[in-house]
Structure 1
Amino acid sequence: MLVKHGARRLRTSAPAIIRSKQNSTRASDSAGIKPLESILIANRGEIAIRVNRTAAKHGIRTTTLYTDPDAAAQHAHSSSRSFNLGQTSEYLNQAKILALAKDHGCQAIHPGYGFLSENADFARKCAEAGITFIGPSPSAIDDMGDKARSKEIMNAAGVPCVPGYHGSDQSESKLASEAESIGYPVLIKAVRGGGGKGMRIVQSAGEFSDMLSSARREAMNSFGNDEVLVEKYITTPRHIEVQVFADKYGNSLALGERDCSIQRRHQKILEESPAPELDDSIRKDIWQKARAAAEAVKYEGAGTVEFIFDNDTGKFYFMEMNTRLQVEHPVTEMVTGLDLVQWQTMVAEGRRLPLTQDEVEERINSRGHAIEARIYAENPDKGFIPDSGKLLHVRLPAASDDIRIDTGFIEGDTVSSHYDPMIAKLIVRGETREDAVRKLAVALEEYEVAGPVTNIDFLKRCCESKDFAEGRVETGYIPKHHDELFSKRQPTPEVLVQAALSSLLQSQISSPVSDSTTSLLSWSAPQSNLQSRRFHFRTDDEDPAPGSSPTIYEVEVQQRAPGSYQVSTLGQSYTISSTFNPLTKTLTTYFPHTRHTSRIITSDSTSSEPGIPSSAPIHLFTPQGSFRLQSATPSWVAKALGTTEKANSLLSPMPCKILRVDVKPGDVVKKDQMLLVIESMKMETVIRSPGEGLVVRRIVHGEGDVVGSGVELVEFEEVEQ
């Protein structure tokens, strides 16, 4: 299928549909087969588009849904019939979704992942309404959705489980007592749900109460249930999961495993298959245990059995089963050549699985290695807090049979603050893991997003990390390699010069041009522009502590003649010329001995006040990585205009709701002390004191308030004041 991305089209790979003769539907089974001709997709974004792609390929009519914030979203326009549910939370409105399905003749509902995908009550209501739920039975969802109950079932089925407390006594005293018995560190985990929500690692008894409260709040907010379990936290774990499939005839398959150990905030960002550095006997044992887990609950359809693998002992333990299609299912599709969404449809129709386990293993052994990187609108340098906003520029890697992109956004779309901030999934395949890692690194170099802050550069650094390249992974990889992965890159003189030129020529860059190339050499500037001009920048990701100021970079530009510039920055001077191509947004600057090329993206936002710079960042995509430079006001301008900065203020890092305030005016706080708890996109973030010995002068907003990004939350003063 062709997916449109701005002016470009990307051909996405379509996994093969395999029907084995020996597994073709038998005559005796035909009475139980109900071909599906129409499906309602009860989800949004890339997974809604993904399901629609397979359905369209096989002649199945689709109906999509959207909410008010998603009215302009790509998935809302991906099918001929689409209906507005209304408010933000209406993707969870079971009655409205079922009514739409019945009114418009939809035979089945595909829930995607998240929202209603693991809701047993919704699956029951579908059955009562005569609508096929494309997923497992309500009883299987119940059994595996309750983490405490699932552990009992797994123990009975001979699947090893992590030591822990999964009981019904949910009092804080009981849970704290069990944690002491298990031994710290422990993991508090919501009994229902997944995706890292309602999960907290507790290192000592002193922090148990706060962590428990936080996990319960997040679990209730995300899943409507605040019950938790407590388990032993394995200090050097890997997250290894097995993709399973089963039909209503008792057949089950393991379609290989995925290693999902590279995580932040307990959520995956890199997934791969096969799992690296895993002994083949252990691999086959994990597959067998995953099939046993599925068979224990008479599972049907696609599911994922997740295990914790202890790097220290080589043992693995059942963690949970996700009774749905996973975000990372394309990894398995790449290494099997199968279309898992089509398999879901086949099972829902009552058909048998089309392959045997031996046939699946033959395919896995012949198709190499696949890795998926999740592209998020988030800021890794600020604790991976989510970001939102308009996608000013999107440039995708070159398409090939081994590169696939699943996305719900194109250039010009807006990443909403109401939902998960994932922009896309980039999946690559190589003959070996080394080959796949190389291909991923190259694809990430080609991937450009301007607008919201993204994790693309962070993913690049992960690929370049020596231990990752050699397959030495664990769930604590990111904090363990913090210095390597979060190394600060200062803008080079070449980058600063190009930022200055883009500011100088912003009106030309953003205006329509008929020529394919504009040469700055031929540009005749007004006489006033022949004077020297100074530009001031700061990096957009710098977050100085209260009382300190960001680093300001100055660039002086003087036009000596049309197209000839003398520039000075960071103590160096250059004579340069430049060429700008408006079609590719590429600025090429010729220094004395080098040529520097960047893709420059600026918004149309300009300041109306003299001396006050635009608040919109300049995005530069260079061979050294991407940079976001913000125009900065030099101190002398601020004094001249009588403006002041609130250097001692703590600002909201994103649009959010204030859940909890832990300090009051007059309190003296220590560095990293908890001040507030905020919530955005259903994830809690703790706001901590940025310095030692600060006095809280005032709390600007209270519990329950909803604020935008960059809004003042807390104002401090020094103790001696």
Structure 2
Amino acid sequence: MDRLPTLQCPQLRNRSGDPVIKRVLIANRGEIACRVITTCWRLGITSIAVFTEPDETALYVKQADQVVFLGAINGPAGNPHLNIDLLVKTAHEHQADAIHPGYGYLSENDEFARAIENAGMKFLGPSPESMAVLGNKRSAKDYLLKHAPEVPLIPGYNGSEQNLSRLTEEADRIGYPVLIKASAGGGGKGMRIIHERNQLADGLARAQSEAKRSFGSSDCIIEKYVERSKHIEIQIVGDTHGQVVSLLDRECSIQRRHQKVIEEAPSPWLSADLRKSMSKTAIQIGKLLGYTSAGTVEFIVDVDTAKYYFLEVNTRIQVEHPITEETTGTDIVALQVYVASGGSLDDLNYFRDGMSPQVGHAIECRLCAEDPSRDFYPDLGTIQRWTPASEVLPTSRNEYARFDTGVHTGSQISVHFDSLMAKIIVWAPTRSRAIAYMAKLIAHTVCIGIRSNQSFLQSCLLQAKFRDPEYTTSFIPNLMTSLIKNPYVSQLDETLQLLSFIPSMLQQQRAASDLGRQRFSRIPPSFKNQRKDPANIQASVVQIPLLSNKAILVVWSTGGHSVKIIPISATEKKENSDARLKPSVRLAREYNDDISAHIRRLSNHNGLDIPAHRVTMQILSSRKANQASSDSWILDDLSVTVDAQRYTVYTACTPSPGTEPGLQQEVYAHIPALGTAVKYHSFSLLSYGESRRRLVAADAAVIDKSPKASMPCKVLSVLKKEGDVLKVGEIAMVVESMKMEMNILATTEGKFSAKFQKGDAVQEGQVLFTVT
């Protein structure tokens, strides 16, 4: 069966034939802003994007018809994206007919919706009245208990009394484990699983703190935690004529930190009867309040009993809406415009018995700037190369792939925003084909310069238990140890070491190309004048940060097509044992033992036991990331062969550092066969020796007892007092960055001394606390 085309939803026009809504201001940023801009373009609507200082070069700013600068994101008045008066004033000044809130920020704020309506504009979302009731978990459940008692609610406590004694009493009544949830928000913020009574006080304090920062309210509710559960949601759309329809279900059970990572539609586990029953319940809830626009009714399903329980209503469009669009053939953003203009869903003649047909299977994966091996610690910086698989695999663009993203080569991943970089979506006739397509797409998507969950996503997709439709929300926590391993090779370190010749071979080929345009063009790049020196051999050193900066000696044969890969034997233990020696003596001993000895051994033909690898490389294309900049990163597409094994490699590297001592060249190599990118630090023998001299001079043997901020952050709490004795692994501080809360642990035992206090802003590299 061919892939469904996206439905071009009609836009209402007035008697003169003009659209009812001509200009839309997008009160959001990132990929959702790009998504709304695309629909506006399809409908002939002018898009107006607002942006703050970190987003000046963002993709959505480039794509919009008009842009408005709102100021600094951390200015005196706070985040402009949360400033209702500023956004409404901006929309009015630019003659917008409507405002689209996206998701996050003010998208579920009834005061924002009401202010837009009072200003004479349309809010592309539900009514303020619906949002006030359904946008808050407590008020939504109270309303349903009163007006629709037949809707199944999960056992819990929804009261307003928030003191610890009352909440402890309620948790005891419900029975552990329980789930604490922020009443006013979602997205995994303000949520904690409590397994035992003695965990409640700390868990509640953390949840309330996070809820206050994220949603402006610290109120929480408590629910029974269903351990073998599925997270299923029903997409609904309502119009102003009282009609509410269901675009059926999505499965969102693959979650980390209670936040969705992989979603699929339809759920592979739901029976037809259960799907129909949940859709009817969702429609009933929507009709109770005359719901308009797009929304999502979320349920928890007990796998063991097949019973479902109402969770909440998200009164906005959601991150995962594309998979519903792909399986139903609808443009949900266009439907929001249509119903806000007064359109009737009945006139579309598309829904049967209030439900849309669902064809094929779609999967969405969220590519995030985070490190799964470090408890999903977020990353930030510059994306040095972004090449989606739709450009690498041309057929994927039209057949089954969709990329919803707000990033491009050169994009900055900022501490001020969520870690989501892109959503990768596939559609296929069957689930098994959709999984296969998605794994291939992610493997061939080049995202260089930022640590991401790219390999982790592929591990999830290719995990045998993901093929079992009965997987639950415990999928990631239960399988974490295996999911952080590379899904394609059992010994990743060996493969990365084998491919460590790529940086120096790339430099060789560039040098040869340059020589070909100069005098002495017949002299090979490996030529050295001291031909009889036994140490005169072409070699370089490569460090691999992913392998704890393991150093590799790369030694080339005289033709440059044979290479020996030799792990350097220097270890931290040996460095510590030599700590009493003078730095210059330590350096000489290390260099002689680890590099010079290997080179002379090879020169004297005593290294025959070290295998030589036959390698070739072809540069398929080469360009600068920024043609106007002399120090711009160089982007290459390579075809590399090692011992008859062929690899496609996409690289991004700094311009060659030349011969200045101590400098290195950074080379990122994205290898689809491994499904991820690896970073190499490439040195000449001279520059490597100089880099070691600097480390030795700094006395690298001293253990760093002072944890530093790896990125700009804010101190949320200091858990130890001045002079307290810290033990290894104890949590000393809690900080927040990129909308994520992180624990700072002690790496050594000693007395604690804080350098910052609660509420302080910390810059990258600053010491958070010391242990003496």
TM-score normalised per structure 2: 0.82
Alignment correspondent of 2:473 = 475
Which of 270, 282, 295 aligns to 2:274? It is 282
AA matched with 2:193: I
Distance change in 2, residues 1:94/1:639 (3 Å): closer
Alignment correspondent of 1:545 = none
Report the CA distance between 1:409 and its aligned residue.
Answer: 1.1
Partner-residue secondary structure (3-state), 1:294 = helix
Q: Mean alpha-carbon deviation: is it higher for 579-588 or for 249-258? A: 579-588
Kindly, what percent of the aligned residue pairs are identical?
A: 33
Distance change in 2, residues 1:611/1:142 (3 Å): same
Partner-residue secondary structure (3-state), 1:324 = coil
Which of 373, 388, 393 aligns to 2:380? It is 388
Alignment correspondent of 2:21 = 36
Q: Mean alpha-carbon deviation: is it higher for 479-488 or for 458-467? A: 479-488
Between the aligned partners of 1:350 and 1:511, the Cα distance in structure 2 is: 67
Partner-residue secondary structure (3-state), 1:116 = coil
Q: Mean alpha-carbon deviation: is it higher for 563-572 or for 221-230? A: 563-572
Alignment correspondent of 2:199 = 207
Report the CA distance between 1:606 and its aligned residue.
Answer: 5.0
2:726·2:771 contact (CA, 8 Å) conserved in 1?
A: no
Distance change in 2, residues 1:697/1:521 (3 Å): farther
Which of 550, 553, 570 aligns to 1:552? It is 550
Report the CA distance between 1:598 and its aligned residue.
Answer: 2.8
Give the paired residue count.
Answer: 682
Asked if 1:126 corresponds to 2:116, the answer is yes
Alignment correspondent of 2:96 = 106
Asked if 1:241 corresponds to 2:233, the answer is yes
Report the CA distance between 1:484 and its aligned residue.
Answer: 1.8
Asked if 1:667 corresponds to 2:724, the answer is yes
AA matched with 1:502: P
Which of 603, 606, 611 aligns to 2:654? It is 603
Q: Deviations over 1:308-339 (max 9, x none)?
A: 11112211111110001111111100000111
Alignment correspondent of 1:652 = 709
2:380·2:413 contact (CA, 8 Å) conserved in 1?
A: yes
Q: Deviations over 1:584-631 (max 9, x none)?
A: 6244444444444433332348599734645x5633424133243453
Report the CA distance between 1:206 and its aligned residue.
Answer: 1.3
Alignment correspondent of 1:547 = none
Distance change in 2, residues 1:37/1:14 (3 Å): farther
Between the aligned partners of 1:198 and 1:404, the Cα distance in structure 2 is: 31
Asked if 1:695 corresponds to 2:686, the answer is no
2:31·2:406 contact (CA, 8 Å) conserved in 1?
A: yes
Which of 741, 748, 752 aligns to 1:684? It is 741
Q: Mean alpha-carbon deviation: is it higher for 706-715 or for 277-286? A: 706-715
For structure 2, the residue ranges without an aligned partner over 5 or more in a row are 74-78, 391-396, 531-535, 568-608, 623-635, 683-687
Partner-residue secondary structure (3-state), 1:234 = coil
Alignment correspondent of 2:67 = 82
Between the aligned partners of 2:659 and 2:722, the Cα distance in structure 1 is: 37
AA matched with 1:74: L
2:508·2:525 contact (CA, 8 Å) conserved in 1?
A: no
Report the CA distance between 1:686 and its aligned residue.
Answer: 2.0
Between the aligned partners of 1:215 and 1:196, the Cα distance in structure 2 is: 10
Report the CA distance between 1:98 and its aligned residue.
Answer: 0.9
1:428·1:436 contact (CA, 8 Å) conserved in 2?
A: yes
Report the CA distance between 1:121 and its aligned residue.
Answer: 0.3
Distance change in 2, residues 1:688/1:234 (3 Å): farther
Distance change in 2, residues 1:133/1:610 (3 Å): same
Report the CA distance between 1:123 and its aligned residue.
Answer: 0.7
Between the aligned partners of 1:557 and 1:709, the Cα distance in structure 2 is: 37
Distance change in 2, residues 1:125/1:589 (3 Å): closer
AA matched with 2:768: L
Between the aligned partners of 2:436 and 2:452, the Cα distance in structure 1 is: 21
Partner-residue secondary structure (3-state), 1:684 = strand
Which of 422, 434, 437 aligns to 2:435? It is 437
Which of 559, 563, 578 aligns to 1:566? It is 563
Partner-residue secondary structure (3-state), 1:400 = helix
Q: Deviations over 1:450-484 (max 9, x none)?
A: 01111111111111001112223211110111222
2:714·2:736 contact (CA, 8 Å) conserved in 1?
A: yes
AA matched with 1:311: V
AA matched with 1:314: A
Partner-residue secondary structure (3-state), 1:686 = strand
Report the CA distance between 1:664 and its aligned residue.
Answer: 4.1
Which of 668, 689, 698 aligns to 1:618? It is 668
2:244·2:354 contact (CA, 8 Å) conserved in 1?
A: no
Alignment correspondent of 1:363 = 357
Distance change in 2, residues 1:314/1:509 (3 Å): farther
Alignment correspondent of 1:250 = 242
AA matched with 1:707: V
Between the aligned partners of 1:174 and 1:142, the Cα distance in structure 2 is: 26
Report the CA distance between 1:135 and its aligned residue.
Answer: 0.8
Alignment correspondent of 1:336 = 328
AA matched with 1:263: Q
Partner-residue secondary structure (3-state), 2:408 = coil
Distance change in 2, residues 1:594/1:557 (3 Å): same
Between the aligned partners of 2:283 and 2:335, the Cα distance in structure 1 is: 17
Report the CA distance between 1:349 and its aligned residue.
Answer: 0.5
Q: Deviations over 1:557-605 (max 9, x none)?
A: 13x3242443232584314343241626244444444444433332348
AA matched with 1:525: S
Asked if 1:538 corresponds to 2:530, the answer is no
Alignment correspondent of 2:761 = 706
Report the CA distance between 1:713 and its aligned residue.
Answer: 3.0
Distance change in 2, residues 1:383/1:522 (3 Å): farther
Between the aligned partners of 1:557 and 1:500, the Cα distance in structure 2 is: 9
Matches within 5 A, 1:578-589: 578-581=616-619, 583=621, 585-589=636-640
Which of 313, 319, 326 aligns to 2:305? It is 313
Q: Mean alpha-carbon deviation: is it higher for 379-388 or for 459-468? A: 379-388
AA matched with 1:499: S
For structure 1, the residue ranges without an aligned partner over 5 or more in a row are 1-11, 543-549
AA matched with 1:621: I
Between the aligned partners of 1:471 and 1:453, the Cα distance in structure 2 is: 30
Partner-residue secondary structure (3-state), 1:663 = coil
Report the CA distance between 1:532 and its aligned residue.
Answer: 4.5
Which of 3, 7, 16 aligns to 1:16? It is 7
Asked if 1:426 corresponds to 2:420, the answer is no
Alignment correspondent of 1:53 = 38
Which of 680, 684, 697 aligns to 1:641? It is 697
Alignment correspondent of 2:394 = none
Report the CA distance between 1:647 and its aligned residue.
Answer: 3.1
Distance change in 2, residues 1:555/1:59 (3 Å): same
1:163·1:182 contact (CA, 8 Å) conserved in 2?
A: yes
The higher radius of gyration belongs to 2
AA matched with 1:307: F
Alignment correspondent of 1:231 = 223
Between the aligned partners of 2:92 and 2:373, the Cα distance in structure 1 is: 47
Q: Deviations over 1:58-103 (max 9, x none)?
A: 1112211111111111111222311001121111111111111111
Partner-residue secondary structure (3-state), 1:335 = helix
Between the aligned partners of 1:215 and 1:161, the Cα distance in structure 2 is: 22
Q: Mean alpha-carbon deviation: is it higher for 223-232 or for 631-640? A: 631-640
